[in-house]
Amino acid sequence: MMLKDSSALVRDLFENNRLSISAGLERDGYFILRNEEVSALVHAARGEYLSALDGLEINAQKSRFNRADLSHQPWRKMAIGATNGVGEPYAQFLTSTYFSESTPKFFAINVLFGVLLGLRDILFNLTDKDALSGTWNACRIHHYPRGGGFMSMHKDTHFPKVLGTTGMPFLQVSACMSRRGIDFQNGGGFVVDKLGNKVDLESYGAIVMFDGNQPHGVDCIDLDVVPDIRSKSGRLAAFTNIYEILD
Ligand SMILES: [Fe+2]
């Protein structure tokens, strides 16, 4: 696959979809953007992630990483229990692998994160980079194992606080990187829309955007098996949240 530069792809996506994106977000609190190029990109990024897994140690929930090291290689950790350290606690069971915005050897992953970040910035008209000073983009892939991977329903109360000074409304821009029916069978990501309906967010290859103030979570993945945290199966999603720089 020829990887287009992420900014060219973002421009196309925005120009062709901006009205439906803003209408969807306003009306429903979420929007699922499907596009052939993005879908091929997500598929390639998934392949890169799965090939890298065997070489990645899984670090404990409480271990910390140095952000500068991410530009050499990704870093994987458990995200387990109900004390996740950012905002109000909510229970979860998954691994989270952090990438820099240009991790060597991860061509498709870099472009995918570039697209998610580019879309976020263009949707918020974030041309003034000073607005984001003191924050960093936590680019990561969430991996929910079969056998009980989940994230309990919650609202994102922490990130809006981080963004309070920027005047930016809150939006999650993620990519759905696994297929229900193949990589896992039951459970998956959801958001409760503005009418109170629980909406399934599983759409392989799509960019999934939702208002973090709407309740959302991940229903238990395949409770009929025993979890294997190192398995390549399970549910995958890419996220690019804004975190405060604390160090
Ligand atoms: Fe959340």
| 215 close to 106: Cβ distance less than 8 angstroms | no
Has residue 130 been placed in a domain? Answer: yes
pLDDT at 106: 94
Q: How far apart are CA 112 and CA 114, in angstroms?
A: 5
CA of 52 to the centre of ligand 1 (A): 26
- Number of domains, the chain: 1
CA of 34 to the centre of ligand 1 (A): 22
Q: What is the dihedral of CA 27, 28, 30, 32, to 10 degrees?
A: -90
CA of 25 to the centre of ligand 1 (A): 16
| 209 close to 174: Cβ distance less than 8 angstroms | yes
Has residue 91 been placed in a domain? Answer: yes
pLDDT at 3: 62
Has residue 1 been placed in a domain? Answer: no
Has residue 68 been placed in a domain? Answer: no
Has residue 114 been placed in a domain? Answer: yes
Q: What percent of the chain has pLDDT over 90?
A: 67
Q: Letter for the amino acid at 233? A: S
Tell me: the pLDDT tens digits for 97-116? 999 988 888 999 999 999 99
CA of 26 to the centre of ligand 1 (A): 18
Res. 201: pLDDT tops 60: yes
Average pLDDT over every residue of 138-155: 96
CA of 212 to the centre of ligand 1 (A): 6
| 214 close to 199: Cβ distance less than 8 angstroms | no
Res. 230: pLDDT tops 50: yes
Has residue 65 been placed in a domain? Answer: no
Range of the domain at 152: 6-60+73-244
Res. 87: pLDDT tops 80: no
Has residue 78 been placed in a domain? Answer: yes
Has residue 66 been placed in a domain? Answer: no
Res. 167: pLDDT tops 50: no
Tell me: the pLDDT tens digits for 25-62? 889 999 999 999 999 999 999 999 999 999 999 999 99
CA of 154 to the centre of ligand 1 (A): 6
CA of 155 to the centre of ligand 1 (A): 6
Q: In CATH, what number is assigned to the domain containing residue 20?
A: 2.60.120.620
CA of 2 to the centre of ligand 1 (A): 33
Report the sign of the C-alpha dihedral through residues 180, 212, 5, 144, in that order: negative
Question: Bigger pLDDT: 195 or 168?
Answer: 195
CA of 153 to the centre of ligand 1 (A): 8
